[in-house]
């Protein structure tokens, strides 16, 4: 028996947060004894390639055009053309006792391919949502104000063929169960956690200033400039130093802040993952995470898991949902609404107290192992084995 793991991204072919997560999931499932073949688009060649248990199937067309067709409802998904080719290749290779595990970072294509294979072969079909389906409704909220044909009919159509649906947030799990109550018992949740466990043997001695860092995407959904607004509003700003780590070329506000050349505001280009972990461990006291759309309450920013791994207290500017709950309910820091500047300022003032910071660190250290993906994946392993044992 084999698992065919369908994904749009995977290391080393793409170096993104999503590919890191998928690579970790496959690695830890393999360590538990699962025989896994990864199936993904080949973005760089017109040939089908098989290497290191990865099947790369050509996807050599204009994605932007097909995204436009998807938006108008002329295509179910921008990956439709690739799905057709992949289905023809896989339908004679997958066996009835195999499992097709389709991941989604917002696209429908992998789920659609899994459904087609399920109907053709009668194999087991598992859906793993890393993020909700783009432009589907989550608790009645749509992703943004841009025009996009509704996707509930397509979502229901293909999810109805699944044997198991795994979400990465309880919020998305609840949303799907409310939309499709007949699938309720099939929809489970698994927080994926951090991938590479760090052994924080001895933290640096803190200086007189508390250092707070934002890391990652500098776009409009995150609005990392919120951290500067918080800094500006502090009564004790001389006791705080902030860092922005990543590419700010698309963020004019941060570019203008950089020009001010303030001594307590630092900008660092994107770092390779290992260098990022070392820098954060050596230099940063608090990790900042932000999302500014209520829709994204159904997503858990991977930065939260990274900060837990680094044993860093967390300052969050987040919508209601799992990310906010993980921080506040476990006392890993303080998460406020993204538009509640007073709350964010008061939280930051609390972080200036080193005793308070140490209390939060102890909470994180106590729970840290629970968030290691190698331990989190045991839930998925149990779900898959239960699925097999049910027949």
- Give the H or E element holding residue 268: strand 265-268
pLDDT in tens, 332-351: 999 999 999 999 999 999 99
For the cut 80, the answer to whether the pLDDT of residue 201 exceeds it is no
pLDDT in tens, 76-112: 999 999 999 999 999 999 999 999 999 999 999 999 9
Question: Which two tokens mark 146?
Answer: 């841009």
For the cut 90, the answer to whether the pLDDT of residue 199 exceeds it is no
Is 6:100 a contact under the CB 8 Å cutoff? yes
Is 110:102 a contact under the CB 8 Å cutoff? yes
Secondary-structure breakdown of the chain: helix, strand, coil percentages, each rounded to the nearest 5: 45, 20, 40
Is 19:25 a contact under the CB 8 Å cutoff? no
For the cut 60, the answer to whether the pLDDT of residue 204 exceeds it is no
For the cut 70, the answer to whether the pLDDT of residue 258 exceeds it is yes
Longest dimension (CA), the chain: 67
Going from the N-terminus, what domains does the chain have, and what CATH number goes with each? 3-193+373-389 (3.40.50.2000), 210-371 (3.40.50.2000)
Closest CA to 316 of 210, 197, 223: 223
CA 156 – CA 136 distance, rounded (Å): 11
pLDDT in tens, 266-279: 999 998 888 988 89
Give the pLDDT score at 207.
Answer: 66
pLDDT in tens, 173-197: 999 999 999 999 999 999 999 998 9
Where in 53-120 does DSSP place strands (E)? 54-58, 99-104
For the cut 60, the answer to whether the pLDDT of residue 118 exceeds it is yes
Residue 190 class from Cβ within 10 Å (0-12 exposed, 13-18 middle, 19+ buried)?
Answer: buried
Give the pLDDT score at 292.
Answer: 92
pLDDT in tens, 287-321: 999 999 999 999 999 999 999 999 999 999 999 99
- β partners of residue 316: 289, 335
Is 1:98 a contact under the CB 8 Å cutoff? yes
Mean pLDDT of 355-369: 96
Percentage of the chain exceeding pLDDT 90: 89
Residue 353 DSSP code = S
Question: Which residue carries 């084999």 as its tokens?
Answer: 2
Give the pLDDT score at 349.
Answer: 96
Give the pLDDT score at 351.
Answer: 96
For the cut 70, the answer to whether the pLDDT of residue 162 exceeds it is yes
| Cα distance from N-terminal residue to C-terminal residue, the chain | 14
CA 57 – CA 34 distance, rounded (Å): 22
């Amino acid at each position: 028996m084999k698992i065919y793991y369908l994904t749009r991204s995977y290391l080393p072919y793409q170096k993104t947060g999503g590919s890191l997560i998928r690579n970790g999931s496959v690695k830890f499932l393999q360590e538990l004894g699962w025989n896994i073949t990864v199936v993904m688009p080949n973005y760089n060649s017109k040939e089908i390639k098989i290497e290191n248990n990865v099947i790369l199937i050509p996807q050599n067309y204009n994605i932007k055009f097909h995204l436009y067709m998807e938006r108008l409802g002329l295509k179910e998904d921008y990956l439709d053309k690739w799905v057709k080719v992949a289905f023809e290749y896989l339908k004679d290779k997958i066996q009835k006792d195999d499992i097709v595990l389709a991941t989604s970072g917002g696209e429908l294509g992998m789920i659609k391919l899994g459904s087609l294979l399920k109907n053709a072969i009668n194999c087991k079909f598992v859906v793993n949502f890393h993020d909700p389906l783009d432009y589907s409704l989550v608790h009645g909220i749509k992703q943004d104000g841009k025009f996009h044909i509704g996707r509930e009919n397509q979502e229901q159509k293909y999810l109805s063929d699944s044997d198991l649906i795994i979400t990465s947030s309880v919020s998305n799990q609840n949303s799907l169960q409310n939309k499709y109550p007949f699938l309720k018992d099939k929809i489970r949740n698994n927080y994926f956690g951090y991938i590479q466990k760090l052994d924080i043997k001895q933290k640096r001695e803190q200086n007189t200033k508390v250092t707070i860092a934002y890391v990652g995407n500098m776009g409009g959904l995150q609005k990392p400039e919120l951290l500067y607004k918080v800094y500006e509003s502090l009564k004790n700003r001389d006791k705080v130093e902030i860092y922005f780590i990543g590419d700010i070329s698309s963020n004019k506000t941060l570019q203008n802040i950089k020009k001010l050349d303030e001594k307590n505001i630092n900008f660092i280009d994107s770092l390779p993952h290992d260098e990022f972990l070392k820098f954060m461990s050596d230099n940063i006291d608090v990790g900042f995470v932000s999302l500014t759309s209520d829709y994204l309450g159904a997503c858990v920013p991977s930065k939260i898991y990274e900060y837990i791994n680094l044993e860093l207290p967390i300052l969050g500017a987040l919508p209601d949902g799992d990310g906010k709950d993980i921080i506040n309910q476990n006392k890993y820091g303080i998460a406020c609404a993204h538009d509640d500047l007073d709350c964010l300022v008061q939280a930051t003032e609390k972080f200036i107290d080193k005793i308070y910071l140490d209390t939060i660190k102890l909470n994180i250290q106590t729970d840290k192992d629970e968030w290691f993906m190698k331990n989190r994946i045991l839930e998925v392993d149990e779900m898959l084995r239960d699925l097999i044992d049910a027949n």
